[in-house]
Structure 1
Amino acid sequence: MRLLVVEDEVTLCKTIAKGLHLSGYEVDQAYDGLTALDKVLAESYDLVLLDLSLPQMDGMDLLSRFREMDQTTPVLILSARSQIEDKVQGLDQGANDYLTKPFSFDELEARVRSLTRRKFKQEDPLLTCGALSFDTLSRTAKARDQVLKLTRKEAGILEYLLLHQGSIVSQEDLISHIWDENVDPFSNAIRVHMSSLRKKIRQVLQTDPIKNKVGQGYVLEEKQ
């Protein structure tokens, strides 16, 4: 899943982004409100982590602008503003959660997990499709209870396909949600990682639940 961290304290922003990256997320960063607005207008994110005290454009103004065009992407406010009035205003403006600084990274990560699962209407951390499963907490994939040794990108692809199983997922969808802003959209990275993932699954299941829909994308579905 792809996240955007908006925080003007560069060191803190990089620390949060690094921690979330190690937890399996792809993370973009913005250090001011206008840059963040440009990013949310141009890219598709599964969650936005938003500081309120930002240069160029205040976080509340950014949130209001964002909600004018996007009512569904979860927003988690991270702010030193701890007054009840600030929390109420943030939630009324359209934020889904509010975490007061300073906070522990474990709590932040738990809030991120909760909000991203909620976006996909999925409360159970275990995603399954037949004999294939993926634990979103431990980032562990299994086929017939055998652990699959997947790379970060392979795990991200499998998770996204499981969240959308039965539906066609385009290469553009995968670029938007599994890769960060540095990806070359014209590279063959998706095909390479997808091929490797399917090979690892086939070695255990002796069948491939991921089907290629020519000109459309990929679909994961349980074999009937």
Structure 2
Amino acid sequence: MENQPKNHTRVLYAEDNKRTAELLQKILELHGYSVEIAPDGITAWNAYRRERPNILLLDLELPEIDGVELTCRIREKDHATHIIIYTSHGEREHELDALDAGADEFFSKDKDAELLAHHLNNLRTRITKGIKRPHVYRLSPITSYNSASRVLTIGEKEIQLATIDARFLQLLCAKNNEIASRDYLIQGIWDKASLHKEPELKKYACRVRKALEPDPTLQIKSQDGGYILLHLER
């Protein structure tokens, strides 16, 4: 574990469960983060307006102003702050609403908090280098994906993805090494038009796999009734 402060990267953590918030705060502070806890959406909104954080860690089910509305408010004028939805399972519709509102990714509360800290450490490196493009996902050392422009970059090659291919990849990226269920993907791509879409989903998975082929460390696997994007270290 990293025990020395790095650069006082500011994290605003909106969470109404006091115990959960305080435990994570202690872990992140050991990694050198300055963490402010907001117990409800209004407090988080006021804290954000008072001093913009580098990273916003956001629960969805917040009192006063929920996570989706808070994301909408922030994205109206701010496209630089990285917004992570720190969520439990079973909130598929809310997750998709937050993603469409401008959230960048999801991180499950079921994971070890040290994994979240490690992920934030990678974000901090980007922030300190002045790379403030929250919609760009770093998939591997040579591959990135810009979900706003739908451009997949592998080495020096840029690939413009078709609309549904791009949405499929964005949904996998946002899940952050979690399995994206078929229902989640179908709803995220076609909204309520979900009947008989599983064969279509398989087709788009194959197309995105094809686009990722130049980087052999990246794989899309069918697993436990869904799909997951994996980076295999080599």
State the shift of 1:81 in Å.
4.3
* TM-score, scaled relative to structure 2: 0.49
Instruction: Tell me, in whole angstroms, the C-alpha distance in 1 between the residues paired with 2:100 and 2:86.
Output: 15
Q: In the alignment, what sits opposite 1:18?
A: 26
Deviations 1:193-217 (A, max 9, x none): xxxxxxxxxxxxxxxxxxxxxxxxx
Residues 60, 66 of structure 2: 8 Å contact kept: yes
State the shift of 1:4 in Å.
0.8
The higher-RCO structure (CA 8 Å, 6+ apart) is 1
Q: In the alignment, what sits opposite 1:56?
A: 64
Instruction: Tell me, in whole angstroms, the C-alpha distance in 1 between the residues paired with 2:94 and 2:69.
Output: 13
The alignment partner of 1:66 has SS state of helix
Regions of 4+ moved over 4 Å: none
Residues 27, 114 of structure 2: 8 Å contact kept: no
- Verify: 1:42 aligned to 2:50, yes or no: yes
Residues 47, 75 of structure 1: 8 Å contact kept: yes
Q: In the alignment, what sits opposite 1:65?
A: 73
Q: In the alignment, what sits opposite 1:121?
A: 131
Q: Gapped runs of 5+ residues in structure 1?
A: 124-224
Q: 1:102 to 1:74 in 2, by over 3 A?
A: same
The alignment partner of 1:69 has SS state of coil
State the shift of 1:39 in Å.
0.4
Residues 14, 41 of structure 2: 8 Å contact kept: yes
Higher-Rg structure is 1
- Verify: 1:77 aligned to 2:85, yes or no: yes
RMSD: 1.9
The alignment partner of 1:71 has SS state of coil
How many residue pairs match? The answer is 123
Q: In the alignment, what sits opposite 2:3?
A: none
Percent identity reads 33
Q: Match of 2:63, as an amino acid?
A: P
